[in-house]
Structure 1
Amino acid sequence: MHDLNDMLLFAQVVKAKSFSGAAQRLGISKSRVSKSVARLEAALGVRLLQRSTRRLGLTEVGEAYLEHCERIADELAQADLTVGSLHSEPRGKLRFSAPVAFSTLHVASALPDFMARYPDLSVEMTISDRLVDLVEEGYDLALRITPEPGPNLVARRLAPIRRKICGSPAYLARCGVPRRPEDLIGHNCLDYTYQNTQGIWHLQGPGGDAAIPVSGSLRINDDEALSQAVLGGLGLALLPTFIVGRELQSGRLVEVLPGYVPTERFVYAVYMPNRHLPAKVRAFIDFLLERFGSEPYWDR
């Protein structure tokens, strides 16, 4: 197989019309250029150049071969431009995974603004609470809600994920308002079963951490469905504010024990370590930071 560098050097010699001119243009020695062309001719078994003391010309075979070399050089230059533009300007396809409730409520609604800002970009979003494998499954990044994003990935913190103990005004009028964490034991506490801490609410308060055993008549593995049961007056639940922020702001739900909150989590953008982070990934992360921030709109 012919050496690509020898082919490109041959094209430069023809363009410069001399070995010394090509060497000067490329910043290498004349002997290196000469050896490169000789090596190419030996590999092909033909003479490409007619050499004389006054001029350098192409043989008939050399003219035909030059066309192929120039086309390869043009395609390489175009490939460099394509890679450069993909890294300098957000374009191409952005493929990411995001958790179900958060992406449905807050990411999907943000996409029209993001895509209007970057019209050369298309998006493929996978909505799933499963931890996808970025490399194996071909994702540019993933959004994850967790206390710690874990090793082997770069993680950018996008926004805090806060949970509050919530109840409807009707439930609290009927069953009373808890004043201390221990009062929760006497309430119908609806539990979220997706986590491993079923039946225990871990709270942080003025007196430190507290693990409160709770029980109730309903357990659900989906926070949005759980919030609907709480809105219906069935009981209390520990709900993320990105789901119930609007209801808390309007008074349809009431925060209970406001001095006691669970350990804070965050939504992170995670991606593979990459010295040259694609512009599309950087642009999306910057957009979400601008959209959410340290005090996101659902908590204001």
Structure 2
Amino acid sequence: MSRYRELQAFDAVVKTGSLAGAARQLQLSPATIMRAITALETRLSNTLLIRGARGVNLSPAAEQFAISCQHILQQTDAAEHSAAGLHARPAGQLTVALPLLMAPHIFTPIALAYLDEFTDMQLVTLSREDVPKLLEEGIDIALVVGQLPDSSSFAMPVGKVKPMVCGSPGYLAKWGQPQTPADLKSHRTIVTTALGYESEWRFCCEGANRQVKLAPVLRCTTQHAAIQAATLGLGLVRCMSYEVHDELQKGLLVPLLTGFAVDAVPVQLIYRNGRRAEARVRTFIDFATPRLRAHHALLE
């Protein structure tokens, strides 16, 4: 068996979690898969799989090798597609990660338009608030809000968003409007306990960022629920501008303390391989970038 097929066998075992699963995926016998893994381990002079009564587990040495193996196979497939002329007509599945509240009004219309134009493509969307690891998690493209850590990914800027405090007209009529961040201590506030959301609110006061500790009347497990509660007049909520774009447009919420807002943060599409990316990745970047930049929820 060639080195490439050995890597395919190892990758299939990693993805399916068993030798039998890998055999079914590659339409080979379990014995053939076992021989491929044994040959790979012999050539590397290292143990990759720990076999037990309940199946197989990766050895410590195999954890990083599995990532490299997947990358090699993906690059090989991309090179073959390009050589075969498939780069000009994208086909297959594209996995895109994005913040939860970016999907309904901003991303979904763009995704539907993309699928109308590229009829051989399928999209899988993953909603999450952290910065994903593209290669390790099998994600092709991510729409990310905020500064990126040092990364080998390529980034395409599409706009900016800013944090803001909002309240409903009904709430403000009853409780008044805060004039400074310190006034929030006498207001009813709503916070989100989900990952990525701070329990303390930050503001820019006299050129320095300062935090305000709150005693919220409501803690929500999702930002969507917190925003909904704010529109019903329960209290004030802190959010990113894109998260309440529709509520602001409809007058359901009013921005507050705008003179104390911290700096806007970038919104970027991140992906791997730059201009060498596969057609399914490259066409989506080229299609989505100008449409995201034109959206009113993303500041220039």
Shorter-chain TM-score range: 0.5 to 0.7
| Residue type at the aligned position of 2:297 | W
Distance, in Å, in 2 between the alignment partners of 1:257 and 1:222 is 23
Match of 1:279 in 2: 279
Structure 1 residues 282 and 206: alpha-carbon distance in aligned structure 2, compared to 1, 3 A threshold: farther
Give the structure with higher Rg (CA).
Answer: 1
Task: Verify the 8 A CA contact 1:96 1:142 in the aligned structure 2.
Answer: yes
What stretches of structure 1 of length at least 5 have no aligned partner?
2-78
Structure 1 residues 235 and 81: alpha-carbon distance in aligned structure 2, compared to 1, 3 A threshold: closer
Distance, in Å, in 2 between the alignment partners of 1:91 and 1:239 is 37
Distance, in Å, in 1 between the alignment partners of 2:171 and 2:232 is 9
Distance, in Å, in 1 between the alignment partners of 2:298 and 2:129 is 23
1:107 aligned to 2:111? no
**What whole-Å deviation, never above 9, does each CA across 1:86-115 have from its counterpart, x for those lacking one?**
323333322222222212442223211111
Distance, in Å, in 2 between the alignment partners of 1:120 and 1:161 is 33
Structure 1 residues 231 and 80: alpha-carbon distance in aligned structure 2, compared to 1, 3 A threshold: closer
How many percent identity over aligned positions?
Answer: 28
Match of 1:135 in 2: 135
* Root mean square deviation, CA, Å: 2.7
Structure 1 residues 80 and 188: alpha-carbon distance in aligned structure 2, compared to 1, 3 A threshold: closer
Distance, in Å, in 1 between the alignment partners of 2:110 and 2:140 is 18
1:156 aligned to 2:156? yes
| Residue type at the aligned position of 1:166 | C
Structure 1 SS opposite 2:160: strand
Report deviation, 1:177.
Answer: 0.6
- The TM-score with structure 2 as length reference comes to 0.65
Match of 1:231 in 2: 231
| Residue type at the aligned position of 1:189 | T
Structure 1 residues 149 and 113: alpha-carbon distance in aligned structure 2, compared to 1, 3 A threshold: farther
Bigger shift: residues 265-274 or 236-245: 265-274
Q: How does 1:142-221 map to 2 (within 5 A)?
A: 142-195=142-195, 198-204=198-204, 207-221=207-221
Task: Verify the 8 A CA contact 1:134 1:141 in the aligned structure 2.
Answer: yes
Distance, in Å, in 1 between the alignment partners of 2:207 and 2:139 is 43
What stretches of structure 2 of length at least 5 have no aligned partner?
2-78
Distance, in Å, in 2 between the alignment partners of 1:214 and 1:163 is 17
**What whole-Å deviation, never above 9, does each CA across 1:137-160 have from its counterpart, x for those lacking one?**
332222222232442222222221
**What whole-Å deviation, never above 9, does each CA across 1:232-259 have from its counterpart, x for those lacking one?**
1011111222221122122221111121
- The TM-score with structure 1 as length reference comes to 0.65
Distance, in Å, in 2 between the alignment partners of 1:283 and 1:291 is 13
Structure 1's consecutive aligned runs of 4 or more residues displaced over 6 angstroms after TM superposition are none
1:247 aligned to 2:241? no
Structure 1 SS opposite 2:204: strand
Distance, in Å, in 1 between the alignment partners of 2:80 and 2:207 is 61
Distance, in Å, in 2 between the alignment partners of 1:216 and 1:158 is 34
| Residue type at the aligned position of 1:296 | H
